[in-house]
Structure 1
């Protein structure tokens, strides 16, 4: 049997060369609560992109988003961050992010401030192919179909389509796992047509 694997999902990586300690200190100073019950990952408010302490990082995120926009020939003037938040999985806590996706967005991201457990991505085609033949198992490798993992390396940023279902493994290491995530949305003139008249003109607040 010949297998034709069609339409792979592109998840680019970028590497940050700035000072991570300053960002980690800034993240630890932010108020955090547990929102993804029953898990215990601590999450900040989603306004970090407006916080001056994160400005150098946000500027770099914007550069990465522009590179992504150009590489994918997206028909918008730019990609603006609409929500940005920090996450801490405490040391030896065994907590992780449950399976989810980021609705009503276009591009999502995970920026790793520390090493730690991987981000797990689920094959988006498998559930549709299997239809009602749902696979239920405690084994992560078969539960819900094929998966791919991207390792958590300090300073790594990954961008992915917001509809892509993902989670994180459970964190049992003896240090805090720290990440910053954001969603980005098309901004400015969207899908300009004849006479440069756009389908929409969007401003992200």
Structure 2
């Protein structure tokens, strides 16, 4: 007797966009110098609602308003990748994308040894992104060090788990997604997705740029 195969239909999943900037070496060198200089001239760093410790410097949320060429170059790269992702996921043509007018808040972090960022999301935005200026040091005895950890939405279901569903793979997995950012890498994700930065134990600084974005559709 032949048993017919079940059809597996993927119902819900979370898109994660990843892009690498080909000219990141020169750009990141300029960004790193600029960010360190600005941080030295700032008496107090930004304190938002997300839990972080004193080993993390956070700038004000207007980074992409800066007129520095390196900042504008980074913004152009981020927006190009974000619009491409939006167009692909929504199947929008170029004319439709031109009618999506972006607004954002943007900032940078300098994370020293011991720095971390607590679990949070950005509920008043549509898409968020993180760009890596400096990845910091790899820590052999702590593979999670400095990792950008995305929390599985399944965690909120509090559903029963046994051996029949504890080892699901791919988009059906119940596990979190830990990303170790590479220099020049941009990660894009829906702003509702919970995430955190694991404690970083490298000796050199870890430097990242982050942004939240939302859109108005208008002709």
The two structures share one fold, judged by TM-score above 0.5: yes
**2:214 aligned to 185, 189, 200, which one?**
185
> In the superposition, relative to structure 1, how do residues 13 and 79 fare at CA in structure 2: closer, same or farther (>3 Å)?
farther
In 2 relative to 1, CA 69–127 (structure 1 residues): closer, same or farther, beyond 3 Å? same
**TM-score of the superposed pair, with normalisation by structure 1:** 0.76
Q: Distance in 2 between matches of 1:155 and 1:13?
A: 11
Matched residue, 2:78: 61
**Which runs of 5 or more residues in structure 1 are unaligned?**
132-144, 190-200
Alpha carbons 2:126, 2:191 under 8 Å: kept: yes
Instruction: Look up the match of 1:164.
Output: 193
Larger relative contact order (CA 8 Å, sep ≥ 6): 2
Q: 1 CA distance for matches of 2:108 and 2:190?
A: 19
> Is the counterpart of residue 43 in structure 1 residue 58 in structure 2?
yes
- Residue 4 (structure 1) shift: 7.5
The answer (yes or no) to whether the contact 2:46–2:60 under 8 Å persists in 1 is no
- Shift of the alpha carbon at 1:128? 2.4
5+ residue gaps in structure 2? 1-5, 137-145, 161-173
Distance, in Å, in 1 between the alignment partners of 2:131 and 2:111 is 14
Whether the 8 Å contact between 1:113 and 1:178 is mirrored in structure 2 is: yes
Aligned length: 174
| Structure (1 or 2) with the larger CA radius of gyration | 2
The answer as to 2:175 corresponding to 1:146 is yes
Per-residue deviation, residues 41-90 of structure 1 (Å, max 9, x unmatched): 11000001110121111111111111012111267623524100000111
Whole-Å separation in 2 of the counterparts to 1:23 and 1:12 = 22
1:78 match: 100
What is the root-mean-square deviation of aligned Cα atoms in Å? 2.4
Distance 1:38 1:155, change over 3 A: closer
Alignment pair present for 1:88 and 2:105: no
Would the alpha carbon gap of residues 71 and 24 (structure 1) be closer, same or farther in structure 2, given more than 3 Å must change? Answer: same
TM-score calculated relative to the size of structure 2 = 0.71
Please report how far the alpha carbon of residue 5 of structure 1 lies from its aligned counterpart in structure 2 after TM superposition: 6.4
Residues 55/26 of structure 1: CA separation in 2 closer, same or farther (3 Å cut): same
List structure 1 segments (4+ residues) > 6 angstroms apart after TM superposition.
Answer: 2-5
